[in-house]
């Protein structure tokens, strides 16, 4: 049964930092290793695994390991992370909610990396690092590129298309075609195209994502395939169920 977030979560910046730190050790490390990454520890195992290169390394360097572990435990209690036994050892894994947030941030990081390359006239030698990544994350990345409507990404898209698998190639080709045709479309036609492409590029979580309505305190299902929730600033989680939200609009 998916965990339900009935407690107040950590502030967004902290929440995202912990999820980013966890991303490199999912199903391969536990609470202690995650806390050490966030502390900026110099323990041998962490350094040997290259975890000091994680963007969240040292995020909580001013806190004690005990204080950091309490924050990790709060992430578990509030339904963003959970422990899963691999053999006899408890490992950290994402909940569906935690992965939805992290997936969006990783996709946005890829967009920002491409923007950096374009602004600095950097041509990558290969796009092999995009292959074999989580399919939902990569399709979300494609959707974000599509939403820009900007042809500047096409050379990179073509490089990526040349090295990936058939299904990914097909989606990349569709995005390239859409970007090439955007200038010939009306605003309504473009909006319709984005709506249609969202149906295949926004991949539904394998498990339901359940949230608590802040107005009526009832559980409701979060639709992670709704494009309205995806922003460059992060995943915009609804705070109310549809009944309460619709009621507010009627006042």
pLDDT in tens, 118-132: 999 999 999 999 999
What lies within 8 Å, CB to CB, of 212 at 6+ separation is 4, 5, 6, 218, 219, 220
**Least confident window among 30-34, 89-93, 102-106, 241-245:** 241-245
Q: Contact 108/140 with Cβ under 8 angstroms?
A: no
Q: Which pair of tokens denotes residue 55?
A: 């963007």
User: Tokens 């990526």 belong to which residue?
Assistant: 160
* Local structure of 37: helix, strand or coil: helix
**Least confident window among 40-54, 70-84, 154-168, 220-234:** 220-234
Whole-structure pTM over 0.85, yes or no? yes
Return the higher-pLDDT residue of 66 and 216: 66
Question: Residue 250 pLDDT > 50, yes or no?
Answer: no
CA distance 145 to 154: 10
* Local structure of 3: helix, strand or coil: coil
């Amino acid at each position: 049964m998916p965990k339900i977030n009935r407690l107040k979560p950590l502030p967004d910046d902290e929440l995202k930092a912990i999820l980013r730190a966890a991303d490199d050790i999912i199903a391969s490390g536990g609470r202690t290793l995650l806390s050490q990454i966030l502390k900026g520890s110099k323990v041998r195992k962490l350094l040997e695994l290259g975890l000091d290169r994680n963007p969240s390394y040292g995020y909580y360097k001013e806190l004690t390991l005990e204080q950091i572990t309490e924050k990790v435990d709060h992430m578990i209690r509030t339904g963003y992370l959970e422990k899963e036994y691999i053999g006899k050892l408890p490992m950290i894994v994402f909940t569906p909610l935690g992965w939805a947030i992290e997936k969006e941030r990783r996709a946005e990081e890829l967009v920002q990396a491409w923007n950096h390359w374009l602004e600095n006239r950097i041509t990558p030698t290969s796009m092999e690092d995009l292959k074999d990544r989580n399919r939902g994350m990569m399709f979300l990345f494609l959707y974000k590129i599509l939403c820009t409507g900007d042809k500047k990404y096409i050379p990179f898209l073509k490089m990526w298309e040349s090295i990936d698998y058939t299904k990914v190639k097909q989606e990349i080709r569709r995005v390239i075609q859409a970007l090439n045709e955007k200038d010939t479309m009306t605003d309504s036609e473009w909006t319709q195209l984005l709506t249609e492409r969202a149906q295949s590029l926004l991949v539904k979580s394998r498990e339901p994502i359940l949230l608590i309505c802040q107005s009526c305190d009832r559980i409701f299902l979060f639709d992670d395939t709704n494009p309205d929730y995806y922003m460059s600033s992060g995943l915009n989680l609804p705070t109310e169920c549809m009944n309460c939200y619709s009621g507010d609009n009627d006042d």
